[in-house]
Structure 1
Amino acid sequence: MFWNKLFEPLEYTLSGILVSDVGRKRTENQDNFSFGEFVNGNKSNSIRLEIQKVTLPQAYGIMDGMGGEKLGAQASLEAAGFFSDIKRDILEILPKLDTKGREKVFTSLIYSLNEKVCQMALENNVKQSGTTIIAIFFVENRAYIVSVGDSRIFLIRNGEVTQQNKLDTMNITITENGVEKQIRGGLSQFLGMDASEYELVPHIVDLKLKEDDTFLLCSDGLTDYVTPEEIGEAISNKSGVSSVDYLLGLAMERGGKDNTTIIRLDVKAKGTESTVSE
């Protein structure tokens, strides 16, 4: 009995907080999300949500509507709504699948989301609309990360911060005063692309969870102004509410030109205390 208990897999819970803010320059919040049962259906300029000790499986996501395309807010809302509707079905089947099976499911999800955004644009007589997505699925003792675009997800483990997903940004090299430098261009892929002409390839990461892991998902309204090191320091040294308020405050102080959405998720073994709301 003792040995069975000693090697019994840990059961995890999640506590978390979400903030979404329109920023200082934009007049519309084109970010959206799937956080528990909530999406930003009213496209509110400022919103805060919390969860406490929810049991797995769970899934969360941030959808950043593209300001350079028409109906960016509607594109992110379409993606967030469909993701919220389908995530329970995906969570149910993930434990039954091998690696290739999960890749097929996540790729199918991305193509379905892409179709939803394209259909919305067509119905509104818009040539193209777009949104990015970063999502994380927690099942048993694993986390599966899926992304398209330039929103990011960080893992903070034992005080170290590491970015978990690849970005679909295109860098452009320019020469200025005889010096070459790179500036960020557009996106090589996003939700809302013509899938008959371009192949969508989601970035998928499979992680084994450890107790006290913290994940931070964010739109580029945060990472345009705040470094990964600053994110890791804030998560490691501040409680849930304090950390996201601090990070959002930094982004606003340094310009706040874009909408900013942040989700912090803390992984705990069942029965341990969470510090998200302290």
Structure 2
Amino acid sequence: MNDAPNPGPGFETGCISHTGKVRKANEDNFLLRPEIGLWAVADGMGGHENGALASATVVAALEAVEAAGSAPDLLAMLEGSVLKANAELRAEIDRRGATMGATLVCLLIHRRHFACLWSGDSRVYLIRGGRIVQVSRDHTEVQDMVDRGLLTPEEAKRSPRRHVITHAIGAHETPELDLENGEIADGDAFLLCSDGLTEHVVESEILAAVEAGGAQAACDALLALTLERGARDNVTVVVVRYRQGASERTRWMPNRPERGSSTP
């Protein structure tokens, strides 16, 4: 288990990563760099040795990102690092003759601007004003089928193919990242996680944990809940809360359904 809170200027950060109750090794990796406004979670694929290498390769590439003078510069550095990681993984795949890759979810914050980027089914949520919204959209076969009206969300959760991923770093010659961006407001909290959390925990429980206390306490509580329910996969959770002590307006409105604390 890795427990690494890091507050950073203007942010309260909590993080926890655990192998779970079934897997023999932890293929997840994470990055906390609040001093430059970067947080990330990567979930490896391809067997425990190859998966761990894949997620570590992605996180190591992100370590090269430096403090930026603008939000576009920060985004450009991150995208360059992802391209580098993808090239390294493609070369390793050719060398080993093995399938490997990593999902990735990143949070970038520069002044009052945020950007969420992802590839795969690791997720990022925004908790704002007592409500939660999933910012990311899973890159999976079943999510594509839900979007096309071929499956209901309930059917997708039960599908044996719910973990078949359509995008991942290293999976293709050119990585595909989706992006959502906007402005943050005082009290906003972001939660980044691997799918080991969302396999067992629903959005209303994530909301309750984040609203109940500090960022690290939320991570601890969500891991405990996951372990209680069997933790069939590695689980990594990062919570980032923005605190400036000022009343702020934001121009970003989620384009996906929100849920309040009373939602089951």
Q: Smaller-chain TM-score range?
A: 0.7 to 0.9
Residues 107 and 201 of structure 1 are in contact (CA less than 8 Å); yes or no, is this contact kept in structure 2? no
Partner Cα distance (2:16, 2:182) in 1: 25
Residues 143-199 of structure 1 deviation map (CA, whole Å, 9 limit, x = unaligned):
1111000000111111101111111011198xxxxxx9441141111011231xxx5
Q: Among residues 208, 213, 238, which one is paired with 1:233 in the alignment?
A: 208
Residue-pair matches, total = 225
Q: Among residues 196, 200, 203, which one is paired with 2:178 in the alignment?
A: 203
In structure 2, what is the equivalent of residue 141 of structure 1?
112
1:96: Cα distance to partner?
5.6
In structure 2, what is the equivalent of residue 76 of structure 1?
55
Q: SS at the partner of 2:26?
A: coil
Distance 1:163-1:126 versus aligned 2 partners, 3 A rule: same
Q: Among residues 171, 186, 196, which one is paired with 1:193 in the alignment?
A: 171
Runs of 4+ in 1 over 6 A off after TM superposition: none
In structure 1, what is the equivalent of residue 250 of structure 2?
none
1:140: Cα distance to partner?
1.0
RMSD: 2.5
Gaps of 5+ in 1: 1-11, 37-53, 174-179, 272-278
Distance 1:215-1:33 versus aligned 2 partners, 3 A rule: same
Q: Which amino acid aligns with 1:113?
A: A
In structure 2, what is the equivalent of residue 256 of structure 1?
231
Q: Which amino acid aligns with 2:164?
A: G
1:138: Cα distance to partner?
0.9
- Aligned ranges for residues 1-278 of structure 1 at < 5 Å? 13-36=10-33, 57-67=36-46, 71-85=50-64, 87-88=65-66, 91-92=67-68, 94-95=70-71, 102=75, 107-123=79-95, 125-171=96-142, 181-182=155-156, 183=159, 184-195=162-173, 200-269=175-244
Residues 16 and 266 of structure 1 are in contact (CA less than 8 Å); yes or no, is this contact kept in structure 2? yes
Distance 1:187-1:20 versus aligned 2 partners, 3 A rule: same
Which structure shows the higher strand fraction? 1
Partner Cα distance (2:72, 2:228) in 1: 47
Residues 204-237 of structure 1 deviation map (CA, whole Å, 9 limit, x = unaligned):
1112010011111110000000001110111112
In structure 2, what is the equivalent of residue 4 of structure 1?
none
1:17: Cα distance to partner?
1.1
Residues 127 and 207 of structure 2 are in contact (CA less than 8 Å); yes or no, is this contact kept in structure 1? yes
Partner Cα distance (2:72, 2:133) in 1: 29
Distance 1:65-1:209 versus aligned 2 partners, 3 A rule: same
Q: Which amino acid aligns with 1:249?
A: A
Distance 1:131-1:28 versus aligned 2 partners, 3 A rule: same
Residues 30 and 67 of structure 1 are in contact (CA less than 8 Å); yes or no, is this contact kept in structure 2? no
TM-score by length of 2: 0.77
TM-score by length of 1: 0.74
Gaps of 5+ in 2: 1-8, 146-153, 247-264
In structure 2, what is the equivalent of residue 274 of structure 1?
none
